[in-house]
């Protein structure tokens, strides 16, 4: 599960969906979990998971 969280964090940063500081802030409030990272993703994009985005956008092959 930690691997999935790290992959999602990297996606958020690489796509400029969230900054490291924003991610750290959410983690300091909600804990450093996959669920927290997915909450960031949902609040910024409307997607619930990285798998959902990859299914929609095949250009993000680096994150599979």
Q: State residue 62's pLDDT score.
A: 60
Q: State residue 11's pLDDT score.
A: 96
The secondary structure of 1-60 as a DSSP string is: -HHHHHHHHHHHHHTTSS-HHHHHHHHHHH-SSHHHHHHHHHHHHS-S-HHHHHHH-TT-
Q: State residue 1's pLDDT score.
A: 64
Tens digits of pLDDT across the chain (64 residues): 699 999 999 999 999 999 999 999 999 999 999 999 999 999 999 999 999 988 876 555 565 5
Q: State residue 52's pLDDT score.
A: 92
């Amino acid at each position: 599960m930690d691997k999935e969280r790290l992959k999602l964090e990297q996606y958020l940063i690489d796509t400029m969906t969230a900054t490291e500081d924003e991610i750290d802030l959410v983690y300091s409030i909600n804990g450093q979990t996959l669920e927290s990272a997915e909450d960031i993703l949902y609040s910024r994009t409307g997607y619930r998971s990285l798998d959902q985005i990859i299914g929609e956008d095949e250009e993000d092959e680096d994150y599979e």
